[in-house]
Amino acid sequence: MVVEPVDEDLAVIRRDTNPDNGPLSTDVLDSSLSPSNTPETDRRAGSVAWTALRTSLRLLHVSSSLFPILSSAVGVLISCVDGLEAAAKHQGDYEELATTLSAMVDSLRQCTNSILMSDSMLNIIFSLERQAMEMREKLSQVEDRGFRDASASEEELLRYYRRVQSLFQQLQINASLSTWGIMNTQLTNSRLEGLNPVKPAAYDSSLSTEVSRRGCTEGTRTEVLAGLNDWLDDPTSASIYWMNGMAGTGKTTIAYTFCEQVEKRRQLAASFFCTRNAVDCRNTSRILPTIAYQLARYSIPYQSALCQVLGQNPDIGSKHVLKQFELLLKDPLQQTKASMPGSLVVVIDALDECKDRNGVEFILEVLLRYTGHVPLKFLITGRPEPEIYNKMRLHDQSRAAIHLHDIEKSLVRADVELYLNEELAFMSPSQIEIEQLSLRSGSLFIYAATLVRYIIYGKHIANPRQRLKSVLSLTAEPTKKHAEIDALYTAVLESALQEIQMEDHETEDVKTGPSGSAVLAGTNQRQDYRCA
């Protein structure tokens, strides 16, 4: 839906550009189309379109003072107008674009007093400022060459200009629906709550504190995070990114950090962190309704379209996953695609922790087949369980992937050492002690975290230095200091043995092998266990 500028808006532009601020006759308007008829256009060797655009942007700059980020972006654009006009004074396309953009700017200005600033709008404004700054830099390069090679840069400038116009169009749609959102708050909230969203599943919910969910230590997992950000910002990349790894490789911590990063840029559309600690957070039938709920809080145009769907299908949250995807995501997103910013991501973490294995397969099948129809990308994390691994393997062409347990161990160990240094800084461990702890942790961050929790807890009930010494001298005796570590790995190993169909002798081989015996017997071979 595009809000078309009304005649009154254009009249405002013409009045503002009239020195006498009086009504302009038809004759004056017609004659003003000639650049030689006004001092302003003579001086700038341009047309009335550029003058109108300048005026429109300046008025928006003033009226948007309540929204500093919008005012800042418009300020950058104003600084580009003179250069654009000079670079394109003989190009009719630019003048036509200037006229269209001027009308959009004026239409947006009419809404500034009633804008409900959503994360979606902030994302668009961030993109607008970024495009304007890149365009200004390009214009500076052209001006340095004295416009000698302006034709060579014309296509690139035109792309920037059209992108700016597209972003203003998105802003216009969002702003025009802000009034709808304000007037229908009660009805909207009622319908959205009817989805019965799992609010604790959000990455930063209060549950995240209860389960000790946190981000990566500064400076760790940088290559993995850079790869995720590159994937998200690449418009040609796959719609789904599968980050998998064995237990303890840091999947949830990386996903949490990625959520923090993209939320700062207003690119996080929704998140659903599965966990065994909460029944609803491991129910596959609640994932899509929760994503729809969060996305409706993100984008007002989508919220409007979704509320229409919910008005006609109030019980859609109880339907099967395919119908949920079609009615809650695909249909309303296709209706509002023009208003949605690019590079939006939904993060689904630890899908393997959901209790319904058939449900996991079904939701993966739906996402892998149909995400190409929606303007969203999905990051999915989890252990490579058979129902997940087999489904992903069948769709190699439609998703990207990273296997955390295959990352070079020296890189992981360096990150583990950074983590240990930061967490144990209060007791100033030696580099040798850090290296020994890292060696025991191997490539498993969860092992390092468990050791840290054991040592740090000593601050309250014991001597942490003594606990560190105990950890560094692990023996075969199954004492209390091993209980938490043993409980964790015993649960992982026993769960794997129960779910994988093995002959009795094969199960016994796993239990009595080097890794299994280290976990189940609590021997000094613990440090060699890799969950593989």
- The reported pLDDT for the residue numbered 523 is 36
Tell me the C-alpha distance between 328 and 310, whole Å: 8
| Chain-centre distance for alpha carbon 32 | 48
Give yes or no for residue 252 having a pLDDT over 90.
yes
Average pLDDT over residues 448-458: 79
Start-to-end CA span in the chain (Å): 52
For residues 260-266, give the mean pLDDT: 97
Asked if 378 and 367 count as a contact pair (C-beta separation under 8 A), the reply is yes
Q: pLDDT at position 288, please?
A: 98
Q: How far apart are CA 41 and CA 290, in angstroms?
A: 55
DSSP state of 349: E
Q: How far apart are CA 60 and CA 149, in angstroms?
A: 33
pLDDT greater than 60 at residue 26: no
Lowest mean pLDDT, pick from 85-99, 113-127, 267-281: 85-99
Boundaries of every domain in the chain: 7-183, 193-406, 408-473, 475-532
Considering only residues 254 and 117, tell me which one the structure prediction assigns the higher pLDDT: 254
Which of 91-95, 290-294, 382-386, 430-434 ranks highest by mean pLDDT? Answer: 290-294
Per-residue model confidence (pLDDT) at position 41: 43
**Using only C-alpha atoms, what is the Rg of the chain?**
29
Q: 65-74, 206-215, 289-298: which has the highest mean pLDDT?
A: 289-298
Nearest to 152 by CA among 142, 160, 143: 142
Q: What pLDDT is attached to residue 145? A: 66
- Give the integer Cα–Cα distance in Å for 166 and 342: 11
pLDDT over 60 (residue 484): no
- Confidence class of residue 460 from pLDDT cuts 50, 70 and 90? low
Q: Which CATH architecture has domain 193-406?
A: 3-Layer(aba) Sandwich (3.40)
What percent of the residues of the chain are helix, what percent strand, and what percent coil, each to the nearest 5?
70, 5, 25
Confidence at residue 524, expressed as pLDDT on a 0 to 100 scale: 37
Task: Tell me if 515 sits within 8 A of 532, measured CB to CB.
Answer: yes
Highest mean pLDDT: which range of 210-214, 239-243, 447-451, 513-517? 239-243
236 pLDDT more than 80? yes
Q: At what angle do helices 7-16 and 92-109 cross, to 10 degrees?
A: 100
Using CA atoms, how far apart are residues 185 and 459, in angstroms rounded to an integer?
49
User: What is the pLDDT confidence band of residue 473, given thresholds at 50, 70 and 90?
Assistant: confident
Determine contact, residues 510/519, Cβ cutoff 8 Å.
Answer: no
531 pLDDT band, cuts 50/70/90, is very low
Chain segment 160-180, per-residue pLDDT in tens: 888 999 999 999 899 888 777
CB neighbours of residue 410 within 10 Å: 8
> What is the model's pLDDT at position 447?
82
* Range with the largest mean pLDDT of 4-8, 94-98, 111-115, 243-247: 243-247
Query: What pLDDT score does 483 carry?
Result: 56
Q: How many CB atoms lie within 10 A of CB 400?
A: 18
Contact present, 370 and 331 (Cβ < 8 Å) = no
Q: What local confidence, expressed as pLDDT, does residue 328 receive?
A: 98
The answer to whether the CB of 135 falls within 8 A of the CB of 80 is yes
| Average predicted confidence (pLDDT) for the chain | 79
**By C-alpha distance, which of 143, 41, 43 is closest to 95?**
41
> How far apart (Å, rounded) are the C-alpha atoms in residues 402 and 228?
10
80: CB partners within 8 A, 6+ apart: 132, 135, 136, 139
pLDDT of residue 10 exceeding 70: no
Which token pair is 202?
Answer: 């959000």
Extended beta strands in 351-464, E state: 377-382, 399-403
Bigger pLDDT: 373 vs 152: 373
Q: Tell whether the torsion through CA atoms of 198, 202, 206 and 209 is positive or negative.
A: positive
DSSP strand pairing (240-244 vs 399-403): parallel
Torsion of CA 399, 197, 281, 332, to 10 degrees: -10
Question: Looking at the predicted structure, is the pLDDT value of residue 343 above 90?
Answer: yes
pLDDT tens digit sequence for 311-331: 999 999 999 999 999 999 999
User: Hey, how many other C-beta atoms are within 10 angstroms of the C-beta on 92?
Assistant: 10
Tokens of residue 141, six digits: 């390069």
Per-residue pLDDT tens digits for 349-405: 999 999 898 999 999 999 999 998 999 999 999 988 888 888 888 887 778 888 887
**Cα 104 to Cα 220: distance, rounded to the nearest angstrom:** 45
Phi, psi at 375, each rounded to 5°? -80, 50
Q: In whole angstroms, what is the distance from residue 379 CA to residue 258 CA?
A: 10
> Mean pLDDT throughout 469-480?
62
Q: How far apart are CA 305 and CA 303, in angstroms?
A: 6
Q: Tokens 């999947």 sit at which residue?
A: 251
Answer yes or no: is pLDDT of 517 > 50: no
Least confident of 41-45, 278-282, 445-449: 41-45
* Listed residue (444, 68, 489, 422) closest to 219, CA to CA: 422
DSSP assignments along 42-98, one per residue:
HHHT--HHHHHHHHHHHHHHHHTTTSHHHHHHHHHHHHHHHHHHHHTTT-HHHHHHH
Percent residues over pLDDT 70 in the chain: 76
